[in-house]
Chains A and B, each alone.
Chain A
């Protein structure tokens, strides 16, 4: 186990810079998830940490040791790949043992370690099988086993669940989380799935276009998004963003309604965006923020998502699952002031 630090990390391919000075501190034993859309630089960052790509500038430290010029094998890391990278010509046992090939550990200790890891991953019965005889989830466990067997300072996971079906993904998510709680290793996990990020991470790093947008706990990035990108990216369905303008200390929504929100700083111009999560926007005839006509219903069981056409465009709100409004109904929707987020319309930065 070890801490990890990235200092002003940049990466360029030719004249194109894809990472623009990433800085991050990861504590010992922390589970950090990098999340962002395709091409945001999250996998590149992971590959730089692994040593599979050379940094253009900046420093990578693992366990307070600069590793920029070290080979991947010298960095004391282990990586689990998206396609598992387990060798089809080797048995499960040989695949797991592969991580120990370059280790000077005595043979008996290696065997003990393999059995120990197989036990943790519940794979003892499968050790003699070939990968072709395993299910997707079992193959993923073999890949994790090969990483675990080396007892590395840092585990790197590169979208390891994206090839699994929804049910298996949920199961493996839980298993990885349990594994982390059990072994307490430092984990860097890359995914484009914000649900994976929210459910697994101690802290989430949200990236876009080679920049870190926000670093925070799942709760922080959900409830206090740093900008409109994070507000939209985290949460499903994503946050409603309603165009509005400042009028003194009040915010006037398009359509005429005014809301009062305390701002930490003032916007650069007059225009702002008011964000409200669908689960915070509920039918409210007493103190409505916005109203409109219901166009689509999405029953989810305990609640129903309602798509409402308003003067500010289509927004999503939530209604009780038992007695939702009907399509065509006009509904008034309200949200507490603590659930309203205000963003600068020009910069997209949070003002609350």
Chain B
């Protein structure tokens, strides 16, 4: 019989000592799951209440029960048949779409320029753009309003859209992403005879698709849910966006929460579509970014 050497004994000791570790790991995992579970509940509850309220009769709105006692789709019928909601929906779609496209184009153009070109004052321009991030919207609405008024843009699409056609955040985001595009790619394209605009469009833009997708989601959601500025710049009910229009459901005596929640539930559909479309690009972009040079 061969005597057991020291080393295997030491290994088995180590294994014995290691036994409590999985327990603590399990505990950690349970805590993590619990945190995620309650976090999830916290996120989902408002949406669940929104859908629940949209299925309630007015007299039941202030009951906290999640399941309506007498569910109805009457609110949906009312909102969809109400011509105003249709226009608010169209307005919101037009504004959010155009603003998103505009941001994707101009933010990336400026971001690319600030990232890939060397010119005097480049840093100052970048800092100036960044500094606008620190000014709250509430402070800007008065100058925006005065500008809109002087240009005759009040109560128009242009008036609602112009402050958000290009954003400092988008420029910053795109500049940071363009940093990851190797200069070799741009120089190779330059040697191959492309002009700077062609290089930006054919070489650089496809390589920052994840950033463009993220920016598209942010901008679309931001404009879809924007309330303060559209409320200030619009006068006629037909020019309202969904958030502004929904806030008007009801009167001084009572707020029609069931209708507001119904409108809100319907208005989440485009944002979900936008998210599902662009999420694909984010994942594909992450896969592509894994490619080594």
Residues of A within 8 A of B (CB): 50-52, 71-73, 77-79, 81-85, 87-89, 98-99, 101-103, 131-132, 146, 150, 163
Q: A73 and B192: CB pair below 8 A?
A: yes
Q: A85 and B194: CB pair below 8 A?
A: no
Q: A52 and B190: CB pair below 8 A?
A: yes
- Contacts A99-B192, A101-B192, A102-B192 given: A85-B291 contact, CB under 8 Å? no
Residues in A neighbouring B206, C-beta threshold 8 A: 87, 89
Q: B185 and A87: CB pair below 8 A?
A: yes
Give Cα A98 to B182, complex, Å: 17
Q: B192 and A88: CB pair below 8 A?
A: no
Give Cα A132 to B207, complex, Å: 14
Most buried by B among A82, A84, A85, A146: A85
Give Cα A351 to B187, complex, Å: 44
Contact with A along B246-272 (1 / 0, CB 8 A): 000000000000000000000000000
Say yes or no: is B121 at the interface (Cβ < 8 Å to chain A).
Answer: no
Tell me which of A79, A84, A131 contacts B191 (CB under 8 A).
Answer: A79
- Contacts A73-B193, A99-B192 given: A52-B187 contact, CB under 8 Å? yes
Give Cα A82 to B206, complex, Å: 22
Tell me which of A132, A150, A163 contacts B288 (CB under 8 A).
Answer: A132
At the interface, is chain A mostly helix, strand, loop or mixed? loop
Q: How large is the interface on B (under 10, 10 to 19, 20 to 34, 35 or more residues)?
A: 10 to 19
Residues in B neighbouring A101, C-beta threshold 8 A: 192-194
Residues in A neighbouring B193, C-beta threshold 8 A: 73, 101-103
Tell me which of B182, B185, B188, B291 contacts A132 (CB under 8 A).
Answer: B291
Q: A83 and B182: CB pair below 8 A?
A: yes
- Contacts A85-B182, A85-B185, A89-B207 given: A98-B192 contact, CB under 8 Å? yes
- Contacts A82-B184, A85-B182, A85-B185 given: A73-B291 contact, CB under 8 Å? no
Give Cα A184 to B206, complex, Å: 36
Give Cα A336 to B209, complex, Å: 66
Quote the shortest CB–CB distance from A238 to chain B (angstroms): 31
Q: B207 and A50: CB pair below 8 A?
A: no
Count of inter-chain pairs, beta carbons less than 8 A:
64
Give Cα A45 to B93, complex, Å: 54
Contact with A along B180-206 (1 / 0, CB 8 A): 001011011111111000000001001
Interface positions, chain B 36-50, Cβ under 8 Å from A, are none
Quote the shortest CB–CB distance from A167 to chain B (angstroms): 18
Say yes or no: is B293 at the interface (Cβ < 8 Å to chain A).
Answer: yes
Give Cα A102 to B291, complex, Å: 27
Contact with A along B152-185 (1 / 0, CB 8 A): 0000000000000000000000000000001011
Residues in A neighbouring B288, C-beta threshold 8 A: 88-89, 132
Q: Can you give 14 A-B contacts (C-beta < 8 A)?
A: A50-B187, A50-B191, A51-B191, A52-B187, A52-B191, A72-B191, A73-B190, A73-B193, A81-B184, A83-B182, A89-B209, A99-B192, A101-B194, A102-B194
Residues in B neighbouring A71, C-beta threshold 8 A: 190
Q: A72 and B291: CB pair below 8 A?
A: no
Q: A85 and B188: CB pair below 8 A?
A: yes
Residues in B neighbouring A79, C-beta threshold 8 A: 187-188, 191
Give Cα A98 to B189, complex, Å: 8
Residues in A neighbouring B189, C-beta threshold 8 A: 98
Q: A83 and B293: CB pair below 8 A?
A: yes
Give Cα A59 to B170, complex, Å: 43
Quote the shortest CB–CB distance from B177 to chain A (angstroms): 14
Chain B residue at minimum C-beta to C-beta distance from A152: B191
Q: A81 and B194: CB pair below 8 A?
A: no
Q: B191 and A73: CB pair below 8 A?
A: yes
Give Cα A87 to B181, complex, Å: 10
